[in-house]
Chain A
Amino acid sequence: MTESSGTILIVEDDAPIRKFLRISLEAHGFRVLEARLGRDGLELCAEEHPDVVILDLGLPDMDGQEFIPEVRGWSSVPIIVLSVRSDETEKVTALDAGADDYVTKPFGISELMARIRTAQRNRKPSAETARIKAGPLEVDLTRHEVWLGGEPVHLSKKEYELLKLFINNPDRVLTHRQILRDVWGPTHVRDTHYLRVLIGHLRQRLGDIPSDPRYIITIQGVGYRFVREPETE
């Protein structure tokens, strides 16, 4: 409980969950705001400008799915969704609506802490650094050049765009829809087969084995997560 790591708003109706979240977050130096209802959460969010919002999807007064677009109307605060629903479509809906990440209940506290760190880091503007490193992978965004372990890698235009999207959103789940919209445009948000083919190509270029990828992790039924710091063998 030394320096303040930031303010976190918990919107969750279940008191025991709020309690352990508060204790563990405070132990990490966060200031914690709690809201039991979605309405109160929205108010606190507007007044206190938290650094991260942890949102439960099942609220007594409103569905969490309604909460996200409401916040996104005026704030880009990272939102991490908590849900007992293991249903993929729920997660995709939340992510598409603008949530940054999700954690499925029940979860270990370290998992949530890791997500909070990622969310905070991603929010800090990357200052458009020209050269981004991710393990042995290096991308020069100004010169559109890619190296893997010092060797130049040649990518097609689409492959490069996809990699750029990933590297700008590291450690974050991107839904199929989000990727398709960014790389192919809004008319192709349903053409997931394009995406599967392109992912296959990109993995090949990055030396990823589809059955055990280092960089591009498949989240079944949801999308992909780009790992910025792959474990080195």
Chain B
Amino acid sequence: MPETTTRTPYSTELPPVRPGLRAYLWAAFGVAGAMACAFLLHRFVPHANLSLVFLTGVLIIAAKWGLGPSLFAGVASFLAFNFFFTTPFYTFAVNHDGDVATLLLFLITAALTGQLAARMHDEIAKKQAGIRRITALYGFAKRMTAAPDANSVLKELIRHLYHFLESPVAVLLPDTEGKLKVSGGWPSLDGIPLPLDRLEAAWKVDASPPGCRGLSFLTLGTARGPVGLVAVQREPLTSEEEDQARALCDQAAIAIERTGLVTDLEEARLISETEQLRSALLSSVSHDLRTPLSSIIGSSSTLLEYSSKIAAGDQRDLLNNILGEAERLNRYIQNLLDMTRLGHGGLELRRDWVSVEDIVAAALKRMEGALAGFRVALAVDSDLPLLHVHGAFVEQALVNILDNAIRFSPENGPITIAASVAGEKLHIDMFDDGPGIPEAEREMVFDMFYSVTGSDRHPRGTGLGLAICRGLIGAHGGEVEAMPGADGHGTLMRITLPLAHTDES
């Protein structure tokens, strides 16, 4: 018990119920004190009253040391009083009958008050012990409620029981296969020799422990049934001890059940979140794949079935439609693949020196079809330094924010791409003239599936594009932010890439 000596809620600090030699010495000392007082006083007070001085001494001793010392003090005081203060002095003989009566009364009073004081003393001691026990139990209960998991509950229970019963304690819990195992013990994990096989058998039958020499068992049980056994290396326990220990076990069992519920709840929450993510992914994927497919199937079936009725220009439009939508489908699939790679950390950067103009041009080329019908403007500084990045990834990030800009722009709206150096960093800005993003949502648009949670209001929203964009740029140590556009109109999407990488290589 080395490290727990500071907390001994049940160790007996009560005054000794059977007083030792010390108490009698104190009693003798008290009588001597009373005698000294009597000598000082006997010139001023009638000598019969001196007995009161001795009586006071007896009372004090009785209150302090209990019955035995008080009787001892009573007899000693009686003898001292008789010897020194009754005629004839310095003998135990007594001349006056009155003195005899005084002495007898004195003895009786000493015995009675001594007993009363001793009883009161015992009561107080008991009450104090009770209060200490309740305080300890309260502390235990508090720690039980605060215990974050079953393990700390058990640890607390074992330590508490150990100090209460002053005997080695062990807790046995069934493992996942229902086999009883020692899950904790004090002062040591395997300090108690346990007949595990017999316990096991008894546990399987009705969860009640068998009788074992030198061991007592308590069941850890909740409303739902027994959850484990507590073994104490002492036999038998007094009924009071057993009741107390049972109360502790019950409390611990409830706490274990509670921690179990907390864990269950946490797990349920995780599962439901995963479920939500999965269903969002499914609905996003099905939406994003089917929308372009609808145009492809619709346009091609129109061509197949009604081509004779359709003008040449319209036929060409339909073919362009099919091509553009097939490209869109391809982008979505690329996004899905990127997302999977981002999710699995399988993104490997193959950095190389590329110019910003090349990346912007490549992204615009890929989006050529989708950008038709928008006014695209470029404001790329001519003397930009080369970037040391994985070109395809930055291009994909640009494509994704372009796709986003197209989706929210009015028809024939302006889309501006600008690139500039700001200190150690490079900004690639994309302005659109869409409805803009409310401030509260500027961070959320980068969350996966943000645009599809709730409803598919944003009809072409992948819910992935911006999340992937941020992932791709983040892999380069850069960042993507959404800001209000120029004059507060539309949206500015800013990709920031560090130029510091140039020094590294």
Q: Which of A58, A59, A60, A84 contacts B286 (CB 8 A)?
A: A84
Q: Which of A91-126 contact B (CB under 8 A)?
A: 105-110, 112
**What chain B residues lie within 8 Å of A63 (beta carbons)?**
455, 457
CB under 8 Å from chain A, chain B span 272-321: 283, 286-287, 290-299, 301-302, 305-306, 309-310, 314, 317-318, 321
Shortest B300–chain A CB gap in Å is 9
| B298 in contact with A20 (CB, 8 Å) | yes
Q: Which residues of B contact A20 (CB under 8 A)?
A: 295, 298-299, 302, 318, 321
In Å, the complex CA distance between A112 and B301 comes to: 11
Which residue from chain B places its CB closest to the CB of A61 in the assembled complex?
B457
In whole Å, how far is B295's beta carbon from the nearest beta carbon of chain A?
4
**A110 interface neighbour in B305, B314, B317, B324, Cβ under 8 Å:** B305
Are B459 and A23 in contact, CB atoms less than 8 angstroms apart? no
Q: Give the distance to chain B from A161, nearest Cβ to Cβ, in Å.
A: 38
Give Cα distance in the complex from A77 to B310, angstroms: 28
B298 adjacent to A109 (CB under 8 Å): yes
> A17, B295: Cβ atoms under 8 Å?
yes
A24 at the interface (CB under 8 A from B): yes
B163 at the interface (CB under 8 A from A): no
Q: Which of A1, A59, A85 contacts B309 (CB 8 A)?
A: A1
Q: Give chain A residues whose Cβ lies under 8 Å from the Cβ of B302.
A: 20, 23-24, 27, 109
The chain A residue sitting closest to B321, CB to CB, is A16
Give Cα distance in the complex from A28 to B314, angstroms: 14
Tell me whether A51 is interfacial, beta carbon within 8 Å: no
Within 8 A of A (CB), among B89-108: none
Q: Which residues of chain A from 12 to 32 have a CB within 8 Å of any chain B CB?
A: 13-14, 16-17, 19-21, 23-24, 26-28
Task: Assess whether A187 is interfacial by the CB under 8 Å rule.
Answer: no
- Give CA–CA (A23, B314) in the complex, Å: 7
Q: Do A14 and B295 touch (CB < 8 A)?
A: yes
Distance of A230 from chain B, by nearest CB (Å): 24
Residue of B nearest to A1 (CB): B309
Contacts of A26 in B (CB 8 A): 314
Contact A106 B297, beta carbon cutoff 8 Å: yes
The number of chain A residues touching the other chain, given as a range, is: 20 to 34
Most A CB within 10 A of own CB, among B293, B457, B458, B459: B459
**CB contact between B459 and one of A28, A58, A108, A109 (< 8 Å): that residue:** A58
Which of B297, B299, B309, B459 sits near A14, CB closer than 8 Å? B459
Given known pairs A105-B293, A108-B301, the reply for A27 and B459 (CB within 8 Å) is no
Q: Give A16 to B325 CA distance when docked, in angstroms.
A: 8
Residues of chain A with a CB closer than 8 A to B455's CB: 58, 63
B460 is contacted by which of A14, A24, A28, A110 (Cβ under 8 Å)?
A14
Is B456 an interface position by the 8 A CB rule? yes
Residue count of chain B within 8 Å CB distance of chain A: 31
Instruction: Choose from A13, A16, A27, A59 the contact partner of B295 (Cβ within 8 Å).
Output: A16
Residues of B within 8 A of A60 (CB): 457-459
Chain A, 45-73, contact with B by CB distance < 8 Å: what is the 0/1 string? 00000000000101110010000000000
B312 to chain A, nearest CB (A): 12
Among candidates B298, B305, B460, residue contacting A106 with C-beta atoms closer than 8 Å: B298
Contacting residues, chain B, for A58 (C-beta < 8 A): 287, 455-457, 459
| Cβ A84 vs Cβ B287 within 8 A | yes
Shortest distance in angstroms between A45's beta carbon and chain B's nearest beta carbon?
Answer: 20
User: Of B298, B321, B325, B456, which contacts A107 at CB under 8 A?
Assistant: B298
Would you call A21 and B298 a contact (CB within 8 A)? yes
Which residues of the other chain, B, contact A105 by a CB distance below 8 angstroms? 290-291, 293-294
Any B CB within 8 A of the CB of A211 = no
CA distance A14 to B297 in the complex (A): 14
Chain A residues with CB under 8 A of B459: 13-14, 56, 58-60
- Least Cβ distance of A115 to chain B in Å? 13
Bound CA span A85–B279, Å: 13
Asked if residues A23 and B317 are in contact (CB atoms below 8 Å), the reply is: yes
By beta carbon, the residue of chain B nearest A12 is: B459
Cα(A70)–Cα(B318), bound, Å: 33
Once the chains bind, are A108 and B298 in contact (CB under 8 Å)? yes
- Say yes or no: A16-B292 contact (C-beta < 8 A), given A23-B318, A56-B459, A109-B306: yes
Q: Is A4 an interface residue (CB 8 A)?
A: no
Chain A residues contacting B314 (CB-CB under 8 Å) are 23, 26-27
Q: How far is the CB of B324 from chain A (nearest CB, A)?
A: 6
22 contacts between A and B (CB under 8 A): A14-B294, A14-B295, A16-B299, A19-B295, A24-B302, A24-B310, A27-B302, A27-B309, A27-B310, A59-B459, A63-B457, A84-B291, A85-B456, A86-B286, A105-B290, A105-B291, A105-B293, A106-B294, A106-B297, A107-B298, A109-B301, A109-B306
Closest 4 pairs between A and B when the two form their complex, measured CB to CB: A16-B295, A105-B294, A106-B294, A27-B309
Given contact pairs A14-B294, A107-B298, enumerate 14 new A-B contacts (beta carbons under 8 Å).
Answer: A14-B291, A14-B295, A16-B292, A17-B298, A19-B317, A20-B299, A26-B314, A60-B459, A82-B294, A106-B294, A107-B297, A109-B302, A110-B305, A112-B298
